[in-house]
Amino acid sequence: MTCADARDLVLAHARGALAPADDAAVREHLASCPACARVDNAERTLSEVLEQRLPQHPASLALKRRLAAEWPPARRARRSFKRLWLPALAAAAVALVLTPLLYHRLVVVPTRREALVTEAVNDHVRVLLSQRPADAESSDIHQVKPWFGGRLDFAPAVAFGGDAEFPLRGGTVGYFLDRRAAVFLYSRRLHAISLFVVRADGLDWPARPLETASRGFRVIAWRAGELGYALVSDVSAGELRTLAAKVRGEPA
């Protein structure tokens, strides 16, 4: 491997994103080339600096409110009487027929896996939209877990208190379908990760880890005893899997 090849690959190498053969070739080259090893060191340092120190410029609350009010816009609805009312009347008729069925399927017997995944993603989006996602802002699991006392009808069994890779940001109480959920907030670089913990009774919660994706978010759900767990984020599948293993207390 030449220095030029190695330097194009050091970033992917640092992120563990290379195929084993390429990764081994880069590793071997770095061991024998101090100049490329310095590039590797610089790339790792730059990643850390960008993730931790680059100022972020989030949207203001006023802008978010304007955007929410415009989607869907009133003007689109006014464009055509027929285009508005015919679908609306059809929708109302369909709703009249489907409402009891949907109520039974989604609320009374919320057993379908898709409903769990959809709810997990919806709840994660709600967390992202919140101006103050964590009601208990702390990176100390021993402060976050006691905060749930008296706010839930179960004790969320989560031992992972975050680390340099996935720092804990805090916790909050959410609603998952018909019940309360403990929400633990972690992060990875600039990405928010939500861990929902709920009572699993009456839900078709997967006993073995279920990995899926929905609307651009990745979800890993599993059951441990009486509790259901769901991790949701837009980080890579590998990163979410790593966090799931840490939450489950599996050895690295």
Partner 1 sequence: MATERAGDVGSVGREALAYADTLHNLAHYLAGNDPDAQDLVQETYARALRSVHQFTPGTNLKAWLCRILRNTFVSEYRRRRGSPVVGGLDTVDPVPDVADHEIDALRKVMADELETALMSLGEDARTVILLDLEGLTEVEVAEVMGCAVGTVKSRLSRARAALRRRIGEAAR
Interface contacts to partner 1, rule CB under 8 A: 3-4, 7-8, 11-12, 35, 38-39, 41-43, 45-46, 49-51, 53-60, 63-64, 66-68, 70-73, 76, 86-87, 90-91, 94-95, 121-122, 125, 128-129, 189-191, 213-216, 234-236
Q: Judged by CB, which is closer to partner 1: 123, or 145?
A: 123
Q: How many Å apart are CA 230 and CA 148, to the nearest integer? A: 18
| CA distances to 57, 189, 191, 193 from 234, in Å | 19, 11, 7, 8
**Cβ contacts of 33 within 8 Å, gap of 6 or more:** 3, 6
The CA distance from 105 to 113, in Å, is: 12
Strand-pairing partners, residue 233, are: 193, 218
Q: How far is the CB of 71 from partner 1 (least distance, A)?
A: 4
SS (H, E, C) 3-17: HHHHHHHHHHHHCCC
Q: Which two tokens stand for residue 62?
A: 């006023």
Closer to partner 1 by CB, 146 or 175: give it. Answer: 175
In 3D, which of 138, 171, 129 has the Cα closest to residue 152? 171
With respect to partner 1, which residue has the nearer C-beta, 112 or 151? Answer: 112
Shortest distance in whole angstroms from residue 183 CB to partner 1: 15
Helix (H) or strand (E) holding 53: helix 34-53
**In angstroms, what is the minimal distance from the CB of 94 to partner 1?**
6
Compare residues 91 and 207 and give the one whose CB is closer to partner 1.
91
Closer to partner 1 by CB, 45 or 111: give it. Answer: 45
Nearest distance, CB of residue 140 and partner 1, angstroms: 25
Shortest CB 43 distance to partner 1, Å: 7
Nearer residue to partner 1 within complex by CB, 158 or 230: 230
Least distance from partner 1 to the Cβ atom of residue 249, Å: 26
